[in-house]
């Protein structure tokens, strides 16, 4: 239709026709994000316990055995104390920034806003990848603990008979299904898990004190005292540290050995603190995200609870167990073993019946709960990356943004799929390709 400009200023018919056509045009409606939002259903207590439960896996129970062996009793305590001060500073700073700007995936968003968009992009994907790997690692650790064997005296025969593939499959379903629950129910479940872990760790600390001081109510209730801090074990650090490289064993003594033991202890301690940052990652679902003091208080609580419990746990565990005890280095086909826990060793040496079984079951519960929270952090990070257009491909990003009852279902399932990596741990030896020809001049001779 050609536009007609009237010669006279009064031809209302055509003016009315043009105006009617303009009125008929309406812009397309904006895309609704109602089904892409996370629900703010978590209380401050939920957020705090999610972070607490996500941090307390098997690190403080099993990894501390290797730290005690390498660094010695004093070196192990110093390792946890020094690492704790660094972690405290990081989490406190993260909490202050999150209180000022409560956003989804604050670690990613802060890097983008205050450094560079490219840094934020890389940080976000690395953060997500670290947690999906942690998720798979927790599944592997939990499944390996099913085959519990302490010197062939305490044995879980059903765990040895049943293939680890079965346990990995069950744990993968359990952890994924828990993350698909509405966030309010998820928060209550993790609050329960966190309370169980806190009570159990406190109980273990008290039990270590009782075993150290001796008790007539224990089968082997002789007083240990500072036996493993004096005599043949005298010294703040371990007398030597050994490492095997390419089949050759190297032993370090003196100042070099003490430094290596302390450094090795600190690097292993860092992994025990993984998960404390979830207190900021859950800020987008916190009812009190508008209250800056609530977020700051949550970071203070998680710092105090984790660092103090770790400190007292390693202090009390260093007395009833010698740092050169052979059990501290026991593994289950290269994977974690409950027999390497100083708490398990102390309880077994004290002759307490039944409790080793309960403690190993708690280790499985603790590891699987930490895996649930790793998947939670990974899924929320992936949802935040999709919502901020950091996912390549429009249709993919659109699906990753979708939520059902406030839960990013697609992001959860996508992140959970990386838990399938745990099945790789069922074979401890590399497999050979049948009918494969050896390459010429193959240095490995395969």
User: What does the DSSP assignment read for 72-90?
Assistant: HHHHHHHHHHHHHHHHHHH
Supply the pLDDT for residue 83: 92
Supply the pLDDT for residue 15: 43
pLDDT tens digits for range 384-429 = 888 887 776 678 888 888 888 888 999 999 999 999 999 988 775 5
Residue 163, sorted as left (phi over 0), alpha (psi -120 to 50) or beta, turns out to be beta
- Mean pLDDT, the chain, rounded, equals 82
Q: Is the pLDDT of residue 191 over 70?
A: yes
> pTM, whole model, 2 decimals?
0.84
Between CA 189 and CA 388 the distance in angstroms is 29
Listed residue (175, 156, 166) closest to 359, CA to CA: 156
Supply the pLDDT for residue 439: 52
Q: What's phi and psi for 321, nearest 5 deg?
A: -130, 130
**342 pLDDT tier (thresholds 50, 70, 90):** very high
User: Sign (positive/negative) of CA torsion 221, 226, 229, 233?
Assistant: negative
Three-state DSSP string of 189-209: HHHHHHHHHHHHHHHHHHHHH
pLDDT tens digits for range 268-301 = 888 888 888 888 878 778 787 667 777 788 888 8
Supply the pLDDT for residue 26: 44
- Residue 378 in contact with residue 135, Cβ under 8 Å? yes
- What SS3 state is found at 119? helix
Bridge-partner residues for 154, per DSSP?
150
First to last CA, the chain: 79
Between CA 109 and CA 100 the distance in angstroms is 13
- Residue 79 in contact with residue 71, Cβ under 8 Å? yes
- What SS3 state is found at 226? coil
- What SS3 state is found at 165? helix
Average pLDDT over residues 329-340: 76
Supply the pLDDT for residue 138: 92
**5 pLDDT tier (thresholds 50, 70, 90):** very low
Q: How many CB atoms lie within 10 A of CB 234?
A: 10
Listed residue (90, 69, 41, 42) closest to 306, CA to CA: 90
Q: Is the pLDDT of residue 32 over 50?
A: no
């Amino acid at each position: 239709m050609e536009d007609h400009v009237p010669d006279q200023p009064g031809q209302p018919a055509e003016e009315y026709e043009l105006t009617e056509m303009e009125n008929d045009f309406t812009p397309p409606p904006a895309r609704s994000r109602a089904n892409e939002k996370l629900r703010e259903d978590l209380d401050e207590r939920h957020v705090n316990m999610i972070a607490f439960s996500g941090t307390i896996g098997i690190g403080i129970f099993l990894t501390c055995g290797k730290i005690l062996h390498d660094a010695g009793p004093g070196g192990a305590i110093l390792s946890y104390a020094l690492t704790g001060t660094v972690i405290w500073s990081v989490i406190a700073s993260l909490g202050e920034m999150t209180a000022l700007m409560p956003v989804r995936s604050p670690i990613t968003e802060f890097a983008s806003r205050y450094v560079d968009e490219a840094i934020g992009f890389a940080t976000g994907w690395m953060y997500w990848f670290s947690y999906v790997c942690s998720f798979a690692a927790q599944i592997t650790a939990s499944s390996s603990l099913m085959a519990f064997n302490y010197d062939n005296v305490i044995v879980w025969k059903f765990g040895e008979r049943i293939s680890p593939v079965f346990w990995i499959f069950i744990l993968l379903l359990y952890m994924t299904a828990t993350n698909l629950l509405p966030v309010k129910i998820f928060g209550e479940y993790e609050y329960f898990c966190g309370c169980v872990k806190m009570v159990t760790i406190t109980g273990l600390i008290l039990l270590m004190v009782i075993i150290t001081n001796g008790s007539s109510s224990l089968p082997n209730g002789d007083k240990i005292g500072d036996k493993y801090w004096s005599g043949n074990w005298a010294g703040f650090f371990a007398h030597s540290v050994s490492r095997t490289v390419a089949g050759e064993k190297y032993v370090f003594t003196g100042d070099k050995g003490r430094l290596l033991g302390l450094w090795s202890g600190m690097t292993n301690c860092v992994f025990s603190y993984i998960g404390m940052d979830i207190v900021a990652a859950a800020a987008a679902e916190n009812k009190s995200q508008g209250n800056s003091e609530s977020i700051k208080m949550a970071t203070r609580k998680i710092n105090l609870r984790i660092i103090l419990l770790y400190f007292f746990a390693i202090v009390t565990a260093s007395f009833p167990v010698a740092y050169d005890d052979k059990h501290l280095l026991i593994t289950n086909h290269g994977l974690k073993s409950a027999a390497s826990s100083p708490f398990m060793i102390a309880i077994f040496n004290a002759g307490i019946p039944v409790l080793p079984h309960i403690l190993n079951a708690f280790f499985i519960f603790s590891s699987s709960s930490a895996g649930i929270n790793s998947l939670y952090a990974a899924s929320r990070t992936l949802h935040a990356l999709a919502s901020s257009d950091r996912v390549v491909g429009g249709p993919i990003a659109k699906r990753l943004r979708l939520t059902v009852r406030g839960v990013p279902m697609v992001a959860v399932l996508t992140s959970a799929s990386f838990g399938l990596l745990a099945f790789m741990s069922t074979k401890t030896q590399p497999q050979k390709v049948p009918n494969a020809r050896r390459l010429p001049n193959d240095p490995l001779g395969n």
